[in-house]
Amino acid sequence: MAKVIYFDNNATTRVADEVLEAMLPFLKDLYGNPSSMHTFGGQVEKYIRRSREQIAILIGCDSSEIIFTSGGTESDNAAIKGVLAALPEKRKIITTRVEHPAVLATCRQMQAAGYRLVELGVDRDGQIDLEELESEVDDDTAIVTIMYANNETGVIFPIDKIAEIVRAKGAVFHTDAVQAVGKLALNLDKSNIDLLSLSGHKLHAPKGIGVLYVKKGTRISPFIIGGHQEKSRRAGTENIAGIVALGEAAELAAKTIDRENTKVKKLRDKLEDSILETCRGAMLNGGKINRLPNTANISFEFIEGEAILLSLDQFGICASSGSACTSGSLEPSHVMRAMGVPFTAAHGSVRFSLSRYNTEQEVDFVIEKMPQIVSRLRELSPFVK
Ligand code: PLP
C-alpha cells in the first residue's frame, strides 16, 4: 500500500506497537474466560485488574469506578439511559447542540419517549453560555450531558466549572470525554464529574473497547444486563484483549501526554498558521485558545470540503470534513450550523487531527499541497470568479 499521511486521528488512531504486543497473547494462548472456575480461565482476571488500575491512573480515579464497555457510543448510551432509569421521577435532560450523535441521538430518542430535552446553543467560538446552563438546571433535571472536547473543532468546554454548576443544583453530570482522554490531563477525584465516557480507538488502542467512569455513589441502572461481569454493572464476557490493550494505551498516554501537548501542538500550529496564511478564503472554526492540541478545523469559502478531501486523498493525505453526504445533498455539519458558520464556509470545512506519530515532514508536505488544491478548486467553483 502507498504511504499514508494520516491527519485523521479524531476519527481513529493507529494501534501503538506496544499496545498490539500487550494484547496479542490474549488472542492466542491466554484465551480463557475469566468467569471460569478453572485456573486457565481464572488467571486472566488479574490482567483486567491491572488494566483498570492503568486507566485509573490516567484519569485520576479509583479503579473500582471503571466499567469496561464496547466503546464511546455504548458508554454514552449507558450513562444517559442508565441515569434516567435510576431516577424515574425526574423528566428533564440537558445537553448541547454540538454533541456527537452518540449523545445527541440518544437524548432525542429519550425526548421522543416523553422526556423534556434542552439543547444549549453555542457561540461562534463553539462555547455555551454558563448562565443559561445554570438557569436551565432545575429540580426536574435528571442528567446534564456535555462533551469535554468537540470532535470536529477540538473546542474544549470548561468542564470543571460546568460540573460544579450541575452538582450545586443536584443533577447528575455526564461528560463524553472520548476526544479528551489521552490528550488532556484529567483528575476525576478532584472534579464534580459523575460519569465520563472514553473510547480506546481514540488513544492508540483498538476499536471496540471503552470505559464508562462512574463516580462512587452515582445513581445509575445497568444498561446491558445478563451475566454478572463488571459487578453486574455491564453484562457480557469481557473483551480481554481489548481491555489489556486499553490499559497499555492508557499507561503510554500518561507517559506521553506532555509530548502530545507540546510536539503535537507545535506541528498543528505550523500546519494551521501556514494554511491560513497561504490559502485564500481560509478561516479557522472554533475559538483558538481553548482547544485540543491536535485539532485544526479550517473552512475554505466557496469550496466543498469533500472536494478538498478527494484532492488530498490523491496524495495519500487523510483528513476529514464535518459535513455528511446525505441523499445526494451535502449538508453542513450540525456543529458548524450551531456555531453559525456562514453557509458558504460551512460546506468547505476540513478537519486535520494529528497524533504523536505525525512528523514535521508530513506537515510540510500538506503545507506544500494545500494552496495548489485550494486555488484549483476555487477556479472550478461556480460561486466565485
Ligand atoms: N463521542 C465522541 C466525541 C466521538 O468523537 C466518538 C467517535 O468519533 C464517539 C463518541 C463514539 O465512540 P466509539 O467510536 O468508540 O463508539
Q: Whose CA is nearest to atom 12 of ligand 1?
A: 72
Residue-range domain boundaries for the chain: 5-11+258-380, 17-252
Q: Once rounded to an integer, what is the mean pLDDT over residues 113-138?
A: 98
Residue 254: closest CA among 202, 181, 358: 181
Position 330 scores a pLDDT of 67
pTM greater than the 0.85 cutoff: yes
Residue partners of 258: CB distance under 8 A and separation at least 6: none
> What is the bridge-based pairing of β-strands 92-96 and 141-145?
parallel
Position 268 scores a pLDDT of 98
Position 309 scores a pLDDT of 96
- Mutate which of 77, 178, 211 for ligand 1 pocket (most atoms within 8 A of beta carbon): 178
Q: Count of CB atoms within 10 A of residue 336's CB?
A: 28
Kindly indicate the confidence band of residue 324, based on its pLDDT and cuts at 50, 70 and 90: low
Residues 23 and 368: beta-carbon distance below 8 Å: no
- Mutate which of 68, 69, 73, 156 for ligand 1 pocket (most atoms within 8 A of beta carbon): 73
Residues 245 and 23: beta-carbon distance below 8 Å: yes
Q: Whose CA is nearest to atom 13 of ligand 1?
A: 72
* Cα four-point dihedral sign 86, 91, 95, 100: positive
pLDDT (tens digit per residue) in 143-195 = 999 999 999 999 999 999 999 999 999 999 999 999 999 999 999 999 999 99
Atom of ligand 1 nearest to the CA of 73: 16
Q: Once rounded to an integer, what is the mean pLDDT over residues 37-55?
A: 96
Position 212 scores a pLDDT of 98
pLDDT (tens digit per residue) in 206-245 = 999 999 999 999 999 999 999 999 999 999 999 999 999 9
Amino acid at 150: N
Position 186 scores a pLDDT of 97
Lowest mean pLDDT among 22-26, 92-96, 161-165, 302-306: 302-306
Dihedral over alpha carbons 111, 324, 122, 350 (to 10 degrees): 160
Q: Is 318 a catalytic residue?
A: no
- Cα–Cα distances in angstroms (integers) from residue 11 to residues 202, 291, 323, 336, in the given order: 7, 17, 14, 17
Residues 210 and 67: beta-carbon distance below 8 Å: no
Rg (CA), the chain: 21
Residues 264 and 355: beta-carbon distance below 8 Å: yes
Which CATH class for the 17-252 domain?
A: alpha beta
Atom of ligand 1 nearest to the CA of 74: 16
Residues 222 and 230: beta-carbon distance below 8 Å: no
Q: Whose CA is nearest to atom 8 of ligand 1?
A: 11
Helix, strand or coil for residue 83? Answer: helix
Q: Which residues line the pocket of ligand 1, CB cutoff 6 A?
A: 71-73, 76, 100, 102, 147, 151, 176, 178-179, 199, 201, 210
Position 344 scores a pLDDT of 83
Residue partners of 57: CB distance under 8 A and separation at least 6: 250, 251, 254
Cα 134 to ligand 1 centre (Å):
27
Q: Once rounded to an integer, what is the mean pLDDT over residues 46-72?
A: 98
Residue 151: closest CA among 77, 230, 72, 84: 72
Please tell me if the domain spanning 5-11+258-380 has the same topology as the one spanning 17-252: no
Residues 284 and 276: beta-carbon distance below 8 Å: yes
Using the predicted structure, report yes or no on whether residue 113 has a pLDDT greater than 60.
yes
pLDDT (tens digit per residue) in 327-367 = 455 678 999 999 999 888 888 899 999 999 999 999 999 99
Domain 5-11+258-380 has CATH 3.90.1150.10: yes
Amino acid at 3: K
C-alpha to C-alpha distance for 48 and 253, rounded to whole angstroms: 18
Residues 131 and 181: beta-carbon distance below 8 Å: no
Phi-psi category of 372—alpha, beta or left, where left has phi over 0 and alpha has psi -120 to 50? alpha
